[in-house]
Each structure stands twice: as structure tokens, then as C-alpha cells.
Structure 1
Amino acid sequence: MSQNVFLTREPVVNKQRAITATRMRVHAPDCATAVHALEALGEDWPLARPVFVGLAGCTPDATLADWIAPEGAMLEVNAPSLADPVTAAAVGQLAQAGLPLVLSDYKAGIGLPAGLNFRFVMADARVQPSAIQVAGIPLATGIEDVAGFDAAVKAGYGGATGWFFKAGLQAAAGKKLAPGHAQIVRVLNLVRHNADVQKIETALKQDVALSFKLLRYINSAGFGLMCEVQSFRHAVVILGYEKLNKWLSLLLVTAAKDPSAPALMQAAIARGRLMEVLGAEFFPREEHDNLFITGAFSLLDRLLGAPMEAVLEEMTLPERISDALLGRDGAYTPFLKLARACEEPTAHALAELTQSLSLRPDAVNRAQLSALKFADSLEF
């Protein structure tokens, strides 16, 4: 894969704020380089949800017709770019080959070439407050928070793209964890202190629903166990305390009840997996789970409705994890910054962090897609 190509992403959510697709931007100097990068991804491509593939930094040309799109891929086309006959011809050729199209940056009155059909049409809700009246499901862009999303849906949009649900933490500075979340933290602390198995099991059984959820995640395809774990005691025997710490951390991340929680969970777990994969060559094996936990916990304040400081006060965590989550310098902090940079609309920060960590861009891209596949393999 070209050393000049980076992928960034944002989710596509429906009216219920459930993630239904991924919007992926391919940052490349030209179309041919972007096509080469896409073709090189091969089996790393995430298949659980559709992927809107858009070019950033270049415009589609005739070389785009060489792209053999993977299953679930849709080509995102910038509406103004279709005024260029070369771009329109390339897009039309792919459409005739059966590649679904998504239109972005649409504004009322923009003329579109005849014969092109779009599955989705994206428009900036700040410019087009009411849903656009064109064929295709209208999706809002430019949404800044949940209130903006709700207004867009009320105005006729069928969903939105972006990370708007990460904004809007309204927790008071002194707010504590909810009782259900505090119980999971208590179990986590018992595991970290290597408490007796029976004591941990007793604490976990105080919430039967959470016990069931934990076992469901442990048995998810993403974790690749060779046999089904049927009880917490069985999990201890098979996994040991270190791995159970990771699973219980996942349980805490997935305990929120907010309507945006599933999307936040997917983002948090993808961050954790990305950090785990990219950090594997920098840290010993016993720290890999801590990298995962750092990324997975990076949205806990939003998920649990409490300031990060208040959440961490209740937990026994290694200093490296706490440093990264609180924005302090530390060994894990650059990897968390990189995971967040993958969620930006531009690739500037991602390119700088990749270079500073001496990582290869293609390795970061593959790790990002691998992280998406892992997060998609879990049922929220």
C-alpha cells in the first residue's frame, strides 16, 4: 500500500442512533494511488456493515474504474465534482458495473448527470435544515451534538454521519457513578487485586443481567475461544485473572443505557482494539490488554455520565492507563491520540502521529479496519 495513503472514518447512524454503516475517507494524493491502496486492503475489509468510500485530497478520474470494490462497499461522490465530465464518466462506469453510489455535499439546485441513482444523499444540515427532496435516503452532516441530530431527524433526515454523539457530557464535577456501574467497578477491582474466585463470583451474581452479558461477550466470535464458557468460575479456569480484567472492562463499557450508547460502545471498543494491535510491537504481551482497556475506557465519561476523574477515582488502574485517559503524557498516550485521530475528518494529525511512532501508514490502516471488524463482531 502506498506510504501516502491514510484512512479516517466516521459512523453512519439511523434515526435510533444505531450505527448502520461506516463512512471512510481515503486520503491520497491522486485517484490512482487511492485505488491501489483500496485494492491492497483485501481480507482486512470490514464486511458487517456497508462502507461509504470517499476520496479526500483528489477527485475521481478514469483510474477509479479499475477498482474492484469489496462486498458492501459504496462509492461516495462529491456532488459538485460531477460537473467534471471525466469524474461523471468514471462514476457512471462503476455504477453500470453495479457499485452502489452515495452522494455527498448536495445542495438544492445542483444539477446531476442523468442515469445516476444514489442510495443515500448527504447534505449539511446547517445549510439545508430540512431534508433534501431527492431520490435516496437523506443523511445529515455537520451535526454537532445530539440536539442537532434530533432536530435533523424531525426535519425529515433519515439519519446522520459523524461523531456528534461523543459531545454533550453534562455531568456535574462531583457526580458519582450510578449503582449499577459502581458494582461492575467493584468486581473489576476485586479481579485486579486477585481476590478469591468465590468472592468475585458472589459480587458478580448480585446483578444477574450483567453476569449473563459478560458470558455473552466472552463467547462472542471476536474473542475466538475454542469452547463455550458457561459460568464465571469456568471463565476463571480458562482465561485467568488477567484476561478476565479485559472482559470485565468490556462489560463496564457496555453497561450504559443512553440511546447513543451502542454507537459509543462500538467507537470505544474499536479504539481499544486499534491500540492493542498497534502497540503489540512496542510493549510486552502482559501490557496488551492494558492498551485495549485504555482505548475502551476513553469514552467512559460519556458512557457513564460522570467526569473521567470521578470514574477513575473509583478504580484501581495502572498509572499508564490513568495518564492516557486524563490527557497526561505517558507511554500509552500517543497511541490513544492516534486512535482518536482516525476519527478526524482530515488525516493531518494521523499522519504526524504515525510518523512520530515510526509506524507504517498501511499498518495503521489495516489495524483500523481490523479494529472495526472486531468491534462489529460483538453484539451491543
Structure 2
Amino acid sequence: MSTGVLITREPIVNQQRAITANRIIVHAANITQAVQALEALRPHWPAVHPVFISFGRLVPSSDLLGWAPPENTLIEIPAPALQYTQIQELVGRFAEAGTPLALSWYQPGTAWPEGIDCRFALADINKVPNPHNAPGLPLAWGLADVPAFERAVTSGYTGAAGWFFLKGVTPSKQLAPSHAQIVHLLNLVRNDSDISEIETALKRDVSLPYKLLRYINSAGFGLMVEVQSFRHAVTILGRDRLNKWLSLLLVSASNDPAAPAVMQAAIARGRMMEILGEQFFDKNQLDNLFITGAFSLLDVLLGSEIGVVLEQMTLPEPIHEALLQGEGLYAPLLKLAIASEGFMPDQLRAQTESLGLTVQQVSAALLQAVAFADTLSFG
């Protein structure tokens, strides 16, 4: 049985559904074990957005005081624990150390220690429909879908934590013309068409070349030189690797102002699969793993059924099998990436065990994937 500390994650979004923070849920036997695991993950820490740390069912203890969290970290204090004097004292110690704090599982009447800053208060929307007396900026949790989020905002919530924005989407049976154009571009690259023909297709939408070069030159890609043109990209990357980055154009094709949160989730899935795939696949298949994860949310991003999109694309069979049947070579890693998005770790632990991975490998890959996705600008 796989033992050790696992982490799962969920995004925190503002009223416009743009990601403003990442929430990490640490699943450990005790706080000491949790701190050791978090410290080991420091090299992979996401730096673009603040990181909330929830200890799940554990209550924070003085064992945390010996740990210096990364600067962008907020520690969550569960509201039920504030009834205990030692927790109130711990909150004061955190404040003295300059550690930002958030309150989780807020309930009306929760007494937050006076004179201590509480940045945010997370509340279960099913138990707290009105958060107006929360000690920090109120964030809703437990939302069923986007309409529930809109009702929460109307009730006074400033944002939310969770994956509600992936739920309740009714996809169309047709692909929008603008999306079909990018599919055509991807097929040209997959079919090894002439560079001039690909450039012509790329330039039909003036935003596409700009987006493509922005992605390739992002910090997450790590190139030593700036790519200036599509031909330059082909020279440096080669066609096979370039296909991965062209796929980002399709993932980022939605005009919905709330789409960046979904895009971040899709790219994080792909990057996590790519990192862990190094244990199982040759290098020439890693880009396909990335594409599998990135395309796993195309139905939400494009508003079209995944089958409608994929039937028009030239893609390797394992990608089709993973996305349409949940089977084949890439499916286990896709299931693992999706399981990392659950609040509880049971499915993630089971999938980790079935693949023969360690919890350390999975947790490190998850944080690296989130950090990578955060470096890409989808605006």
C-alpha cells in the first residue's frame, strides 16, 4: 500500500472566475509529517499566485512554528479549532511571525482573535448562504456549478474555491468556425505539410501567431533564446515538439472571459501527465501525454462535444482512446491527474498505487504542473 503524504489541489477564483490563488490540501497522518512533505516540495512551489494550505482533517499545531513557509503561502485555520486556547495562541504566534492566515469552514458567530489579520474566510455555501460577518474576504466552497457561484456572489461572496466551473456545461454537436480553423492548422502540422502552408493558415487569425510565440517564449518553456517567428520555432523545436505548443492555441481558443481558469486546469493536467510519463514512456511520447491532458477539457473550453472535436483531428490512437473511452496507454495517467483535483485523496492514492508511483513523485509532479500552468498567460 502507498504510504506517505499526498496533496490534492483546487483553484481559488475571484468574482470574474479568474484564478487568484491555488489551494493545496495536505493529507498526512500528523502535522510533523505534513511539514516535512511540504518542505521537500519547496523547490516546486508555485510562485505566480498565493498558495493556501489546508491540512484537511488535521488541526494545525505548534509543530508548524518551526517551518518557514514560502512567502506566498497562507495557512488555513479551521474555525471549529478556534474554541481551544492553544489554537488561539497559535494564531497569535503565526501573526507575530508574519505568516498570512485564512479561516476555513467559517460559521456565523465564529470568534476570530481580535487584532489579528484574517485575509480570507472560506465557508461551505450549503451551510453559510450569507457571509457578511466573516472576518476576512469570504470565499464560497462546495458550489455545484456556475449558477450556484453566481448566486453566491450575489449573496456577498468575493470568490470561491473548487471546480464548480467545470460542471453543468452542455456541449454543442458542432464545432465553431474559429475553432475549426485551429483544428485545420494542427492537422497541417501533424501531416507534415509545407511550412509556408502552415504559416498561411496561422496568419488567418492575427492573434494566433502572437499567442503561439508568447507561449513558446514563456518562462515555463525555459528557452535560452527568444523565438521570433514560426519558422524560427520550427528550427529550434522541430515539428514534433512544436505540435505540443500549437495545441495550446486550441485550448486557449475560448472567448469566454472565465475560460482562463479552465485553461489552467487543462494545462496542469497535461504537464502533470508529461512529468510522470517519464517513468513509463519514451521521450517521443511525452508531448502526446501533454496533449491528452490539455485536450481533456476541450468540451468545457470550446462548448463542443469532445468527440466532435477529435473526429476532425489527426491524433495518435492512444489520445483518442484516453479521451473518448477512458482506456488505452495514456488513460491511467489522465485518471491520476484528474484524481489530484479531488478534495479527498482516496482515488488519487489508489491510482498512485496502481501505477507503482510514490506519493512523493505524484505530489512533486502536481506542484510542478500547477507552477508551469500559472506561467502561461491566457488573457
Could you state the TM-score of these two structures normalised by the residue count of structure 1?
Answer: 0.96
Residues 70-109 of structure 1 correspond to what in structure 2 (within 5 A)?
A: 70-109=70-109
Distance in structure 2 (CA, Å) of the matches to 1:223 and 1:231: 16
SS of the equivalent of 1:112 reads coil
- Determine the structure 2 residue equivalent to 1:271: 269
- Deviation of residue 113 (structure 1)? 3.7
Cα deviation per residue 1:131-153 (whole Å; 9 max; x = unaligned)?
33133111111111111111111
Whether the 8 Å contact between 1:64 and 1:90 is mirrored in structure 2 is no
- Deviation of residue 45 (structure 1)? 1.1
Counterpart check, 1:247 vs 2:216 = no
- Determine the structure 1 residue equivalent to 2:258: 260
Task: Say which is worse superposed, 302-311 or 55-64, in terms of deviation.
Answer: 55-64
Whether the 8 Å contact between 1:270 and 1:374 is mirrored in structure 2 is yes
Distance in structure 2 (CA, Å) of the matches to 1:31 and 1:88: 17
Paired letter, 1:135 = P
Paired letter, 1:164 = F
Equivalent of 1:178 in 167, 176, 179: 176
- Determine the structure 2 residue equivalent to 1:37: 37
- Determine the structure 2 residue equivalent to 1:11: 11
Counterpart check, 1:349 vs 2:354 = no
Identity %: 55
Equivalent of 1:293 in 288, 291, 294: 291
Whether the 8 Å contact between 1:11 and 1:161 is mirrored in structure 2 is yes
Residues 42-191 of structure 1 correspond to what in structure 2 (within 5 A)?
A: 42-172=42-172, 175-191=173-189
RMSD: 1.4
- Deviation of residue 62 (structure 1)? 2.0
Paired letter, 1:370 = Q
SS of the equivalent of 2:325 reads coil
Cα deviation per residue 1:62-90 (whole Å; 9 max; x = unaligned)?
21222211110000111001212333333
Distance in structure 2 (CA, Å) of the matches to 1:261 and 1:35: 34
Q: List gaps (5 residues or longer) in structure 1.
A: none
- Deviation of residue 206 (structure 1)? 1.1
- Deviation of residue 327 (structure 1)? 3.4
- Determine the structure 1 residue equivalent to 2:373: 375
- Determine the structure 2 residue equivalent to 1:20: 20
Distance in structure 1 (CA, Å) of the matches to 2:91 and 2:33: 17
Equivalent of 2:212 in 211, 214, 218: 214
Whether the 8 Å contact between 2:140 and 2:152 is mirrored in structure 1 is yes
Whether the 8 Å contact between 2:288 and 2:319 is mirrored in structure 1 is yes
SS of the equivalent of 1:223 reads coil
Distance in structure 1 (CA, Å) of the matches to 2:207 and 2:257: 19
Paired letter, 2:373 = A
Distance in structure 1 (CA, Å) of the matches to 2:263 and 2:233: 23
Cα deviation per residue 1:285-324 (whole Å; 9 max; x = unaligned)?
1000000000000100000001111111111111111111
**Structure 1's 116 and 3: CA in aligned 2 closer, same or farther, altered over 3 A?**
farther
Whether the 8 Å contact between 2:112 and 2:135 is mirrored in structure 1 is no
- Determine the structure 2 residue equivalent to 1:305: 303
Whether the 8 Å contact between 1:35 and 1:66 is mirrored in structure 2 is no
- Deviation of residue 116 (structure 1)? 3.5
Paired letter, 1:243 = R
Cα deviation per residue 1:316-358 (whole Å; 9 max; x = unaligned)?
1111111111133211101001101110000001111111111
Distance in structure 2 (CA, Å) of the matches to 1:337 and 1:88: 40
Distance in structure 1 (CA, Å) of the matches to 2:234 and 2:362: 33
Equivalent of 2:321 in 311, 323, 330: 323
SS of the equivalent of 1:12 reads strand
Distance in structure 1 (CA, Å) of the matches to 2:171 and 2:290: 25
Distance in structure 1 (CA, Å) of the matches to 2:76 and 2:40: 19
Task: Say which is worse superposed, 222-231 or 128-137, in terms of deviation.
Answer: 128-137
Distance in structure 1 (CA, Å) of the matches to 2:50 and 2:325: 33
User: May I ask how many residue pairs the two structures share in their alignment?
Assistant: 377
SS of the equivalent of 1:372 reads helix
Paired letter, 1:312 = L
- Deviation of residue 259 (structure 1)? 2.5
Cα deviation per residue 1:194-245 (whole Å; 9 max; x = unaligned)?
1111111111111111121111111111111222211112212221110111
Whether the 8 Å contact between 2:41 and 2:364 is mirrored in structure 1 is yes
Distance in structure 2 (CA, Å) of the matches to 1:140 and 1:253: 27
Counterpart check, 1:235 vs 2:233 = yes
- Deviation of residue 115 (structure 1)? 4.2
Whether the 8 Å contact between 1:266 and 1:376 is mirrored in structure 2 is yes
Distance in structure 2 (CA, Å) of the matches to 1:168 and 1:82: 36
Could you state the TM-score of these two structures normalised by the residue count of structure 2?
Answer: 0.96
Whether the 8 Å contact between 1:62 and 1:89 is mirrored in structure 2 is no
Paired letter, 2:320 = S
Whether the 8 Å contact between 1:60 and 1:91 is mirrored in structure 2 is no
Cα deviation per residue 1:143-195 (whole Å; 9 max; x = unaligned)?
111111111111111111111111121124xx211111100100101111111
